[in-house]
Structure 1
Amino acid sequence: MVQKKVGVTGFGMGGALAIAGSIRFPPSFDAIVSFHGAPPRQDDPSYASAPVQAHFGELDDFVGFSDVKTAKELEENFKESEYPYEVHIYPGKGHAFMDSMILPDEDDAEVQLAWSRFKEWMTRYLYSDMIAVKL
């Protein structure tokens, strides 16, 4: 029997909850991708129980949640985790820049780059038997 793997992605609060879920309920997921959201400070990212990839816009001004300073703090904390991590900051992008993925502006190079990184991450950690949950 093939064991199924679970990947979780979220946007904004969903992204923050995906990371927080791997901290509070280990081992619950096999791969996580967060767009525009970091968990609350009481959830120490070094305790993440799965590989985490996170995406932030350089111009995001949601202080303490998804601004550049928060993204860099998140990345610093991941260094203490035993799991792989990536934190990407996209120049010239604000909060929720991935929303353009479903709008007519789909050809945006940064959105396409983030989307390709997402697909590569989930493929790497989940293989072909993926069950994905969007929060």
Structure 2
Amino acid sequence: MRALYWNGVNDLRVGTVKDPEIVNPRDAILRVKLSTTCGSDLHFIDGYIPTMKAGDVIGHEFMGEVVEVGPAVRRVKKGDRVVVPSFIACGECWYCQEKLFSLCDCTHPKPELQEPLLGYPTAGIYGYLDTRDDVRGRKVGVVGFCMGGGMALATAGTYPERFEAAASFHGGNLANDAPTSPHLFAPKLKAEVYIGVAENDVSYPPAMAERLQRSLTEANVRYTTQTYPAAHGWMMPDFPVYDHAAAERGWGEMLALFGRTLHGGE
């Protein structure tokens, strides 16, 4: 088939590539009729994604006609015309049941590549840092924004021997009923924690805040939580709700946290 593929940094080409095959019983193959670019495609083009290799086909938002389906596919059939979003969801895991489709647990073909973002094995990153002559010591800090706030806490809890500090700004869903909820990492945390909260944040209601703080307190975690007079997303300069004064305050709190916990680099 013909496809747009990555041949190297800033080198895209259209050429003949291997036809796709059904690998998983839930797979479907489409004949693409129309595709478009996404901002994340820029990360492929400029080499930001380190796992890209020459020949990788790009274009993850498209529409077309179903030409083949796996034996476990029930909702679409050959000949159907469909629109495909940027993420794939199984429809069955906890996240999909909660309609958080972009967090699907089951459909990433190489989940180990996501683990550094989700608070699981990140030894490769540390191995790289440990080879750098310009990086002093082994202790590190982590900061997350929005959904990344929970990832920051989970990462610090997964590798407590490496993390001295963890910060979350306008983080959401920090204490929930999922078995991987960020608040469940509290007993493993050795890091000092800072939680910057947006006022009236529906993704972090008072009951959830109380649940997280109770977990941190019971685990004897050193933590500070502060509510900012700003909307969810206030730290992001490219967000409409960006609040410069509140963001400067947030950066100051984060740098102070890192300053008092990471100096010495032991």
TM-score, normalisation: structure 1? 0.74
Number of residues paired by the alignment?
124
Q: Which moved more, 1:40-49 or 1:24-33?
A: 40-49
Change (3 A) 1:23 1:4: closer
* Residue 251 of structure 2 corresponds to residue 115 of structure 1: yes
Counterpart selection for 1:79 from 202, 209, 217: 217
Change (3 A) 1:67 1:13: same
- What is the CA–CA distance in structure 2 between the aligned matches of 1:67 and 1:32, rounded to whole Å? 21
Deviation at 1:19, TM superposition (A): 0.4
* Residue 232 of structure 2 corresponds to residue 95 of structure 1: yes
* Residue 186 of structure 2 corresponds to residue 46 of structure 1: yes
Gaps of 5+ in 1: 130-135
1:17-36 equivalences in 2 (<5 Å): 17-36=151-170
Change (3 A) 1:30 1:112: same
Deviation at 1:76, TM superposition (A): 2.4
Deviation at 1:105, TM superposition (A): 8.6
> For each residue in 1:34-69, what CA deviation from the matched residue of structure 2 results, as whole angstroms up to 9, or x when unmatched?
11222544442531231111111012112xxx3343
Change (3 A) 1:45 1:89: farther
Deviation at 1:115, TM superposition (A): 1.6
- What is the CA–CA distance in structure 2 between the aligned matches of 1:45 and 1:88, rounded to whole Å? 20
> For each residue in 1:52-89, what CA deviation from the matched residue of structure 2 results, as whole angstroms up to 9, or x when unmatched?
11111012112xxx334322321222111233111111
Change (3 A) 1:15 1:105: closer
CA-atom RMSD in angstroms:
2.8
Give the structure, 1 or 2, with the largest relative contact order (CA under 8 Å, sep 6 or more): 1
Change (3 A) 1:56 1:105: closer
Change (3 A) 1:103 1:36: closer
- What is the CA–CA distance in structure 2 between the aligned matches of 1:67 and 1:83, rounded to whole Å? 21
Identical amino acids, percent of aligned pairs: 29
- What is the CA–CA distance in structure 2 between the aligned matches of 1:19 and 1:78, rounded to whole Å? 11
* Residue 146 of structure 2 corresponds to residue 12 of structure 1: yes
Larger radius of gyration: 2
* Residue 202 of structure 2 corresponds to residue 61 of structure 1: yes
